[in-house]
Structures are given as C-alpha cells and as structure tokens.
Amino acid sequence: MKTAPMQHNCPHDSAINCNNCRLSSICLPLALRQDEIAQLDDIVQRGRPLQKGQHLYREGEEFHAIYAVRSGAIKGYSVTDDGEEQVTGFYFPGEILGMDGIGQNRYASSAQAMDVSAICEIPFSRMEELSVKLPTMQKHFFKLLSQEIVEDQRHITLLSKNSAEERLASLLLSISARHARRQLSAHSFRLPMSRGDIGNFLGLTIETVSRVFSRFAKQGLISVSNKDVTVVDLEALRRVANLGE
C-alpha cells in the first residue's frame, strides 16, 4: 500500500484501494494485472463522499479527471441552448464518467449526486502517462470510450424507434442488469432518480412515465412503491422491451 494517495482519503475509508475494492472486477482494474492495478491505485484519489444534490463537476468546467462511482448514484446532464436540462446518463457503482470532457478539455455535461455517493477521481494527465507506460491500460481505456459510444448509439435507437413502454422497460432492465452485475438483486431495487429524470432521459414527460409505471404494475410486470421497484415478471418485461424478437 502506498502513502501518496492516503492524504486524499477520509479516515473512515482509508483502507480502500483498487485491490480490495469489491468493484474491481467491473471497474477500471478489470483488465489489469496485479502490479498494474497497484500503479493505477497510485493515481486514484478518493475524497469525501458527495452529498445528495452536490455536483462532481459542471458543464463547461475545465476537464482534469475522470471518475469512478464507488457507492451511490450519479446523474449526468447537459443544458440545451434554450435552457432545458437533458439527462445523458445514470451512473452506478463501478461505472466511469467524465470522459466527455476529453475532446474539448471541458466537461460537456454536469454530474450530480442523486444519493450520498463515494467517488474515485482519476486525474487524466496521470492516466494518460500511465497509458503510455502500460499498453493494457491504453487498450482498456480505448475500449471504455468505444463502449460509451456504442451505448449512446443504442440510446439513440431507443429514442428513435421505441414506444414509451419499450423505453421504460429497457431502462428498468438495464438498471436491473447493472444491479445484478454487482451481485445485488436483479428483481428488487430502489431507483435513485426522480420520475422527471427518468422521463427526461427517455424523451418522455413525467406524466407518461408515471402512467407507464402504473400500467406495468396493473399488468403484473412490476410492483412499484415510490422509488422502490420489484420486477415481478422479468421475462414479460423483456418481451415488452422488445430487445429480442
């Protein structure tokens, strides 16, 4: 264990590093060897947790780091020319955000905590240096960026081709799958975001989102209580999402 990053750690989680982090299998270290993880760990900074509503960075700010979510949940959004908010993504533990800032050296979106959230900060210049030293790291980072492109294109397809029901079903399945990846229940989870955020992300109004939730519940696909969702009939939900037919 190195001492350098220590100064950035809060006392209560000073023991955390990439090596013992239970997210390492799905997060940045995923493709790295033990000794490479140690080098990554050297540059990772772990600050105090973000409170709900606090921003990690804001659109237009100078880009200097990418971030990994350790706990909690983050909402990414940008503001359109006419002042409306566009939610661009939801980020859960093990997921990386901030990469949209690389191209223009400024963040293209804002990132706000939807819950108390612990975050790992990876200064980008040091990440670049490391990528030159470790081709594995470079490759992995290329992959990360490329995967975000593919995901965005999937989302474009969702918005362009799918109905309100298909969109919401897809989001629920996506969140369910991401929970499962972290060894959490694929059937029962709490949505950290508001109905408004969901609608915004899916290109729908609050009212439509609410109606579709009610319809899903009435059909016995899910049961909803406020932000808590239980997927009752996963297969049926998959059929509704239309992703496989």
Partner DNA sequence: GCACGCAATTGATCAGGATCAACAACCGTA
Partner DNA sequence: TACGGTTGTTGATCCTGATCAATTGCGTGC
**Residue ranges binding its own copies (CB under 8 A):** 78, 80-82, 84, 86, 88, 99-104, 108-109, 128, 131-132, 135, 138-139, 141-150, 152-153, 155-157, 159-161, 200, 202-203, 242-245
Q: With binding defined as CB under 7 A, does residue 144 bind DNA?
A: no
Coil, helix or strand at residue 119: strand
Q: Is 226 a residue that touches DNA (CB under 7 A)?
A: yes
Cα separation, 175 vs 172, whole angstroms: 5
CB of 144 closer than 8 Å to CB of 109: no
What is the nearest approach in angstroms of its own copies to the Cβ of residue 224?
A: 23
Strands 96-97 and 65-71: antiparallel
98 in Cβ contact with 111 (< 8 Å): yes
Q: List the single partner that 243 binds among its own copies, DNA, none, CB under 5 to 8 Å by kind.
A: its own copies
Q: Return phi, psi of residue 37, to 5°.
A: -60, -40
Pick from its own copies, DNA, none: which does 146 bind, CB < 5 to 8 A by kind?
A: its own copies
Q: Which of 121, 115, 8 is nearest to 67 (CA)?
A: 121
d(CA 137, CA 219): 47
User: Does residue 242 touch DNA according to CB under 7 A?
Assistant: no
* Minimal distance, residue 198 CB to DNA, in Å: 8
Question: Among 7-15, 87-95, 136-144, 197-205, which window interacts with DNA (CB under 7 A)?
Answer: 197-205
232 binds DNA (CB under 7 A): no
**Number of Cβ within a 10 Å radius of residue 125:** 10
With binding defined as CB under 7 A, does residue 207 bind DNA? Answer: yes
Residues in the site for DNA, rule: CB under 7 A?
Answer: 163-165, 194-196, 203-211, 213-214, 224-227
